[in-house]
Amino acid sequence: MDHGANLCKPEANIDFGDYWLEIHESFVRQSRDRKDDIKVVFIGASIVQNWSAEGLHIWRQYYAPKGAVNYGIGGDTIQNVLWRVQNKSLDGLDPRVIVLQCGANNLLTSYDSVSDDDIARGICAIINELSSRLPNANILCVGITPINDRNFLGRAKRVNELVANKANERNILFLDLIPKMCDSSNGQPIGRLFTDGLHLTRQGYDVWHEAMQPLFERLY
């Protein structure tokens, strides 16, 4: 895929706030100060960030002992994540695995102005950037998770199908959680997995971990 023009020029699409920049700078410092200990990076928006909340029981037991850090920021778009990768968040690191999950906020905030292809190209641009900057890292890209809205769910499925083509089954793998988080009988998101129709409950993170663990272990 070629880079999506709109989503690959983050400096023109981000309203930088002081609080957001403070969080970004805290990640830069963490990468600098703990570079020898960091073996896994989770990066993305609130669904990644909430591994430190609803997903904390799994994080403490499984990911933290493997040297994982959580670089999720609630509200981040593809542009935000790409900018952070390009601006020192991961500088100096040599992780074994990077878990990337983002894209839902682009669907939610730019619903009519950004195409599914643009969103997929933007996610793939992040993968390309990660591969270029951290050539030893294996990348596990997790697709957009479902939301209780038929149009959103249809578009998320399409984006995931496009991004899945980026996987090479060696050092770049893709995980689609939509089949795991939707009822097979009616295709709708399983209510107990979501707090508000978008963000995940404790059970939602259990499902994510169970689906991801075999792929994670392959890459780690």
Q: What is the DSSP string of 38-69?
A: --EEEEESHHHHGGGTTTHHHIIIIIGGGTEE
Please, what is the angle between helix 18-33 and helix 78-86, to 10°? 40
Q: Are strands 97-101 and 40-44 parallel, antiparallel or unpaired?
A: parallel
The gap from C-alpha 123 to its chain's centroid, in whole angstroms, comes to 9
pLDDT of residue 215 exceeding 90, the answer is yes
Containing domain of residue 33, as a range?
10-219
List pLDDT tens digits, range 50-83.
999 999 999 999 999 999 999 999 999 999 999 9
Looking at the domain assignment, is residue 1 inside a domain?
no
Can you tell me the mean pLDDT for 77-106?
Answer: 97
Looking at the domain assignment, is residue 4 inside a domain?
no
Total domains in the fold of the chain: 1
Looking at the domain assignment, is residue 5 inside a domain?
no
Contact 8, 83 (CB under 8 A): no
Which residue, among 191, 83, 182, 175, has the nearest Cα to 138 in the 3D structure? 175
Contact 65, 110 (CB under 8 A): no
Which residue, among 119, 39, 23, 129, has the nearest Cα to 82 in the 3D structure? 129
What is the model's pLDDT at position 113? 81
Q: What is the CATH number of the domain that holds 173?
A: 3.40.50.1110
List pLDDT tens digits, range 6-45.
565 544 456 678 999 999 999 999 999 999 999 999 999 9
What is the model's pLDDT at position 103? 96
Tokens at 78, concatenated: 């593809």
Can you tell me the mean pLDDT for 148-160?
Answer: 94
